[in-house]
Amino acid sequence: MHQSNKKEVYSKESEWKNQDEQYRFELQKFLDIVENVKDEELRKEIIYQMLKCDKRITQLAENIFDKLKKDER
């Protein structure tokens, strides 16, 4: 995966997590490792599944943020 494609993977998700240096580091490390998978279909499946998990975790975190904001009012 080219550098520009790697940036696109996380630039479309929530802004708050993309600003986290550790998150970006771990994502980059994951993508670097996946780059070594020779089977193109398997590589795509691995990335797709990771993105699904990441999206769900993001949704859960944002739901918690929303609940905390409501509780503060």
Confidence bin at 13 (pLDDT 50/70/90): low
Q: Per residue in 60-70, pLDDT tens?
A: 999 998 899 88
Give whole-number Cα distances, 14 to 9, 18, 37, 58, 62, in Å.
Answer: 11, 7, 27, 7, 9
Confidence bin at 72 (pLDDT 50/70/90): confident
